[in-house]
């Protein structure tokens, strides 16, 4: 199982601020993902990366950016936070195990934009 860390765990911030959510994993996994999840709802893919210098947009990516300069680090940046960004943000990485890729999640960042 992967060790995935996310900081901060909770963040309350005002509208218009720039914020970066941090995600790190120590297992050397190439593939990493960012998801957004509202309470009681499904996970939506925001961005993903298949390795260093590789990033792709998911379904909800238009208001955020990511970078993948190091294998272990995959930060998510919101240039101008809005109340509609209030949600839980989950980072994940995946590894090949047995006969398939399995995905593991960090503890999440719960973001509130006021």
Where on the chain is the footprint of other proteins (CB under 8 A)? Answer: 1, 31, 33, 35, 39, 41-43, 45, 48, 50, 58, 88, 90, 92, 94, 97-108, 110
Instruction: Tell the smallest beta-carbon distance from residue 103 to other proteins (Å).
Output: 5
14 vs 98, beta carbon nearer other proteins: 98
33 vs 74, beta carbon nearer other proteins: 33
Helices (H) and strands (E) in the chain, counts: 0, 11
29 vs 85, beta carbon nearer other proteins: 29
Instruction: Tell the smallest beta-carbon distance from residue 99 to other proteins (Å).
Output: 7
Instruction: Tell the smallest beta-carbon distance from residue 60 to other proteins (Å).
Output: 13
């Amino acid at each position: 199982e992967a060790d995935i860390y996310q900081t901060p765990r909770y963040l309350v911030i005002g509208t218009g601020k720039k914020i970066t959510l941090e995600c790190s994993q120590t297992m050397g996994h190439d593939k990493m993902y960012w998801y957004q999840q509202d309470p009681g709802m499904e996970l939506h893919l925001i961005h993903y990366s298949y390795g260093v210098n590789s990033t792709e947009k998911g379904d909800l990516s238009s208001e955020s950016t990511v970078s993948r300069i190091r294998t272990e680090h995959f930060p998510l940046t919101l240039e101008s936070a809005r109340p509609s960004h209030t949600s839980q943000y989950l980072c994940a990485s995946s590894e090949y195990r047995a006969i398939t890729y399995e995905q593991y999640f960090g503890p999440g960042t719960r973001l509130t934009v006021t």
